[in-house]
Amino acid sequence: MAKRDYYEVLGVQKGASKDDIKKAYRKLAIQYHPDKNPGNKEAEEKFKEATEAYEVLGDDQKKSAYDQFGFAGVEGMGGQHDYSQTFRGFEDLFGGGDFSSIFDTFFGGGGGRRSSGGNGGVRQGANLRYDIEIPFKDAVFGTKVEIQYSRNESCPVCKGTGAANGAGRKVCPTCQGSGQVRHSQGFFSVASTCPSCGGEGYVIEQPCKECGGSGAQKKRQKIMVTIPAGVENGKRVVIPRQGDAGPGGGPAGDLYVFIRVKPHEHFERQDLDLYCAVPISITQASLGADIHVSTLDGKTIKVKVPAGIQNGKMLRIRDEGVPAGGRRGNLYIKLMVQIPAKLSKRGRELLEELSKAEGENDAPKPIPLSEFAER
Ligand SMILES: [Zn+2]
Ligand SMILES: [Zn+2]
């Protein structure tokens, strides 16, 4: 059976905060908990599914792996559920204690949360996330990327307040200013955010015609993002105040540009160092040679292979690595000595002669594996 996307399972957006993810899971966990649904197979499956999703999305490291690589990124990290594990996670989430008291605090008391900033409803707007993929070389040397996305801008007519000229605010008639509505569900009374005022407790007397009272307008915009040299896979660039405008004319959130770096055909990277391998012949390895190697920025550099170098040894070329913060890493070239698989007649004669001249050790003594270490 195909697995559902973890964000979909929890019913949250990809950019959801840790708190929102936890809240979403808590809601599902209580709804489908086996104690509440004895013998209900479907509820049990839903509970397990939500728990698995929360185990990944609730953990920064697993979440970032999942965001980048999907299910493949978190394979083997979750999934196997013995129930004791599940329950432990559940208790952790609610701070221990027995289950019934958890229900009390969640459903019973007046614990619903008002959104911050009751004073006029001015809040910071949402942060937005944008994902880009850039070539390996651009990540190393830096680049500029133009991106296009939609954000909520402050409505120009009402300046983001949502109120028509001069109109004021009044106490929300639905919730009488509490920001919450309650309704009964089975044995419980459930409090939820008031749908009329979004939890603010106030509504606008006369909504702005331009934006219908929301104070915001969706607008598509293009901006140029500067990717600094040396940026690593999975890192992000923050562009202040380019997220959604704040409700009620509040400051805009930020835009987070998440960077995924495409792998390179020849080069690999570790911190500020670059690595590649080049093949050399047994004669080049024995006699020494000058070889020419292309660097990541397209230069060709001359590299001196010392006589008698062993297979797998690494040569260090200073300052040909990743530039960052005014310095540069190194380039490491691993020499792979190629044994000729096919010899010409003349080649064979010469090697046989070499064998005679140098003699062969037909009883080599074992040496520790570590002697073959790469560096
Ligand atoms: Zn408006
Ligand atoms: Zn209300």
Percent of the chain with pLDDT over 90: 44
pLDDT higher than threshold 80 for residue 119: no
> 169 alpha carbon to ligand 1 midpoint, in Å?
14
- The DSSP code for 104 is I
> Of the bound ligands, which one is closest to the alpha carbon of residue 203?
2
| Ligand 2 centre distance from Cα of residue 195 (Å) | 6
Q: What is the pLDDT of residue 199?
A: 84
Mean pLDDT, residues 140-149 taken together: 96
Return the ligand number nearest the Cα of 211.
1
How much is the pLDDT for 373?
59
pLDDT value for 138: 97
Asked if 25 contacts 72 with a C-beta cutoff of 8 angstroms, the reply is no
Residue 247: nearest ligand to its CA? 1
Give me the mean pLDDT over the 221-228 stretch.
94
In this predicted model, what pLDDT tens digit does every residue of 278-294 receive, in sequence order? 999 999 999 999 999 99
Q: Two tokens at 137?
A: 């070389």
pLDDT score of 87 more than 50 = no
pLDDT tops 60 at residue 375 = no
Give the mean model confidence (pLDDT) for residues 157-177: 84
Q: Find which of 73-87, 166-180, 240-254, 312-326 is predicted with most confidence, using mean pLDDT.
A: 312-326
pTM: 0.57
Res. 118 pLDDT band, cuts 50 70 90: very low
What's the mean pLDDT in 73-100? Answer: 42
* Mean residue pLDDT across the chain: 82
Q: Give yes or no for residue 168 having a pLDDT over 50.
A: yes
Average pLDDT of the residues in 198-206: 85
Structure confidence at residue 293 (pLDDT): 96
Strand, coil or helix: what is 321?
coil
Q: How far is the CA of 175 from the centre of ligand 2 (A)?
A: 4
Q: Which ligand has its closest atom nearest to the C-alpha of 214?
A: 1
CB-based burial label for 238 (10 Å; 0-12, 13-18, 19+): exposed
Which residues, at least 6 apart from 301, have a Cβ–Cβ distance to it below 8 Å?
292, 293, 295, 317, 320
Helices 41-57, 60-69: axis angle to 10 degrees equals 100
Nearest ligand for residue 201 CA: 2
Cα 217 to averaged position of ligand 1 atoms, centre (Å)? 8
Q: Higher-confidence residue: 102 or 93?
A: 93
Ligand 2: centre distance to CA 248 (Å): 16
Phi, psi at residue 271, to the nearest 5°? 50, -120
pLDDT tens-digit series, residues 229-255: 999 999 999 999 999 998 777 889 999
What pLDDT, in 10s, does the model give residues 40-54? 888 888 888 888 888
Residue 276, SS3 per DSSP: strand
By C-alpha distance, which of 179, 170, 158, 173 is closest to 248? 158
| Cα–ligand 1 centroid distance for 160 (angstroms) | 6
> Span 291-312, mean pLDDT?
95
> What count of residues does the chain have?
375
Confidence tier at 374 by pLDDT (50, 70, 90): low
Tell me the ligand closest to 121's alpha carbon: 2
More confident residue, 55 or 258: 258
Among 67-71, 315-319, 371-375, which range has the highest average pLDDT? 315-319
Look at residues 138, 190, 216, 150 and name the one whose alpha carbon lies nearest to residue 31. 190
